[in-house]
Amino acid sequence: MCTLEKRGSIFLLTLTGADEHRLNPTLMDAILTALSRVRSESKGVPASALVMTAEGKFFCNGLDLPWAKAAGPVGFHERMRLIGSKFKALSTDLLSLPMPTIAAISGHASAGGFILALCHDYILMRKDRGILYLNELDISFPIPRHYMALIRSKVVLPAGRRDTVLRAVKLRAEEALAKGIIDSAHGTVEETIDAAVRLGEELAGKKWNGEVYAQMRKTLHSEVWDAFEAEDSMSIENDIKGIASRL
């Protein structure tokens, strides 16, 4: 599912295997366990940074809708509620981690996989393969308000927000860089991960207080936290019912 490796001041979290790394409860629990280790092992050390990447063709292909659909019409609702709860927990865990966080996009990152990347402070991406793609419009899957707040906060250029959300464009690294969605583009996956580790080492080298860093991140993106806290369970339930009727 995933591995966690410590390289000096860097925690390297890798989604393992050649599958699509779809976000089902099993994978998300594995990531949450790894992040819990990161929090624990970073206590008492001068400073750290997290790099998340993945093996194979995909960085992450979003929420595991096939797993939810496999339960049938009745089970679909329960599985979607579980996926939504786990994904919110994973998102808030990343957004509150007391250190700089970097996503090294190793392949395709679509839907929830794109949002997972946006939960990091920095996004680096390979140029030779892979796309960023919010495909919710194409599959009639409305993006919840709290994740729309995250997109507004992280995708700063209006044209970038419009094209990703309302045109569902597929962006390669250089296009995503031009739209201000990622921070840098690199030739290969190895170069991307190496650059992410170097950036992490540079940031960790500042020896900032991790708790202060996390608090300042929360204040910087306060509208995201407000939206997460104001999440309307009834609205989400209606979204699930609407999704089920269209699948």
Query: In terms of C-beta density within 10 A (0-12 exposed, 13-18 middle, 19 or more buried), how is residue 233 classed?
Result: exposed
**Predicted pLDDT at 240:** 55
**Do residues 22 and 67 touch, judged by C-beta distance below 8 A?**
yes
Euclidean distance between CA atoms 90 and 36, whole angstroms: 11
**Do residues 83 and 24 touch, judged by C-beta distance below 8 A?**
yes
**Predicted pLDDT at 242:** 57
Spell out, as residue ranges, where the chain has pLDDT lower than 50: 234
**Predicted pLDDT at 170:** 97
pTM exceeding 0.85: yes
**Type of residue at 218:** K
Structural domains of the chain ordered from first start:
2-246 (3.90.226.10)
pLDDT in tens, 26-84: 999 999 999 999 999 999 888 999 999 999 999 999 999 999 999 998 899 999 999 99
**Do residues 120 and 103 touch, judged by C-beta distance below 8 A?**
yes
Q: If you write DSSP's letter for every residue of 113-137 in order, what string do you get?
A: HHHHHHTSSEEEEESSS--EE--TT
